[in-house]
Structure 1
Amino acid sequence: MKKWRPFATMPEQYIELKEVINKQLEVDQPVLTEEQMEQINFTLIETLHTNKQVYLTYYKKGQCITEKGFIQFVDFLGNLFVFIDEVFELKNKMKLSELIDARFM
């Protein structure tokens, strides 16, 4: 697909080629086992209380994204958590169901 990029002379054509390439890179959301979910919950609780930095891997729009940051708030009943990323120090509010993995640094 990359060899056709020089031929994308019209903006519409380039947009369509970019969409085709992005669709090919999409993956399905992994299904977690009960043990994996318990490990993630344990990691979230421990990082919340000790204020340790953590690697978070989450699923968003067909991609698995890994970021480094701090957990600020976890609501297990509301199915959400808030973390502050290391780079821009922005608060990110996400669903716990999107979380794939959480590991200490």
Structure 2
Amino acid sequence: MNRDRGMKKWRAFASIPEQYIGLQEVMNKQLEVPKPLLTEEQMEQMNFTLIEALHTNKQVYLTYYKQGRCMTETGFIQFVDYLGDLFIFIDEVFELKNKMRLSELIDVRFV
């Protein structure tokens, strides 16, 4: 007699939980990108955009580098500290304050 397995899903290469975790780490490592290097002109343009967004309370797209990935968020700049290398922005979705280093910033553009 043949027995049908039914609708059970089978993952051939992830049958052991430890193996699945290891495979997930390998796939995440492959998605990582090196941090882009910015020119002096790009950094100067970002500074002008940050200052203008802070004073006019305009919404901006922030692209930053975090844990091997380039991420983009939309929000409002609330505070910039050039000496302390940090800024605070309020994201559009959850309206939470986020503190971030200026050195992690890749690009700032107006919406």
Cα offsets for 1:58-88 (capped at 9, x unmatched):
0000000000000000001110000111111
Identity of aligned residues (%): 77
TM-score, with normalisation over the residues of structure 1? 0.93
- Residue 69 of structure 2 corresponds to 63
Larger Rg belongs to:
2
Alignment RMSD: 1.1
Aligned to 1:52: 58
- Structure 1 unaligned residues grouped into runs of 5+: none
Structure-2 residue corresponding to 1:99: 105
Distance 2:16 2:57 in 1: 50
> Could you tell me how far apart the structure 1 residues matched to 2:60 and 2:86 are?
17
Secondary structure of the residue aligned to 1:88 is: coil
SS in 2 for 1:56: strand
Q: How many residues align?
A: 101
**Structure 2 match to 1:21:** 27
Q: Post-superposition shift, 1:10?
A: 1.8
Relative to its length, the structure with more helix (as a share) is 1
One of 22, 43, 55 as aligned partner of 2:49? 43
Normalised by the length of structure 2, the TM-score is 0.88
Q: Which 4+ runs in 1 deviate beyond 2 A? A: none
Rounded to whole Å, the distance in 2 between the matches of 1:49 and 1:65 is: 24
